[in-house]
Amino acid sequence: MVKEDKGPRSSVDMVDISGKDVVPRFAEAEGEILLKPDTVKKIRRREIEKGDVLAAAEIAGIQAAKKTYELIPLCHQIPLSKVKILFNMKEKRVVAKCSVNANYKTGVEMEALVGAAVALLTVWDMVKYLEKDEAGQYPVTRLREIKIIRKEKGAR
């Protein structure tokens, strides 16, 4: 009889949620991108070469939240009911907020975080030509404070 060599066991495992109840879930994440004041003014005036920065970032954030399970290996594929991206423009930054709703067995925090982060990355992509210095570097541009600001489980 040959003994099967199973090799080393993986140290990762997707959580089994099959025994959990389906309940309403909500999560809201936000973050910000620091930019040059002139870049923020151009976003407000819709003077960016690639087009409407906030419209593109909104669509990107929504799409990213829906595809979180494809990006984060151990996330479950969650049927999202709603994804909303909102922006708040400040003098030197753009704040993105992503809220996510679902009726499911596990939370939607990762979807909200991914939505906010990708919305901000899309802003960066669309304005990077304005943010570079003479050496092609980004001395001002930064993503900051990407975090969950609220989550709920149960009646909504």
All structural domains of the chain: 23-153 (3.30.70.640)
- Which residues, 6+ apart, have CB-to-CB distance to 104 below 8 Å? 22, 23, 25, 76, 78, 79
State how far the Cα of 49 lies from the Cα of 128, in Å rounded to an integer: 11
**Whole-structure pTM value:** 0.90
Catalytic residue among 5, 13, 21, 125: 125
State how far the Cα of 73 lies from the Cα of 38, in Å rounded to an integer: 39
Provide, rounded to the nearest whole percent, the portion of the chain with pLDDT above 90.
Answer: 87
The answer to whether residue 38 is catalytic is no
Phi and psi at 152, nearest 5°, equal -140, 150
pLDDT interval class at 11 (50, 70, 90): confident
pLDDT at 10 over 80: no
If residue 113 lies in a helix (H) or strand (E), which one and from where to where? helix 109-131
Report which residue type is found at 116.
A
Average pLDDT in the 61-70 region? Answer: 98
Report which residue type is found at 86.
L
State how far the Cα of 23 lies from the Cα of 8, in Å rounded to an integer: 37
Q: What is the 3-state secondary structure (H, E, C) of 8-25?
A: CCCCCCCCCCCCCCCEEE
pLDDT at residue 4 in the model: 62
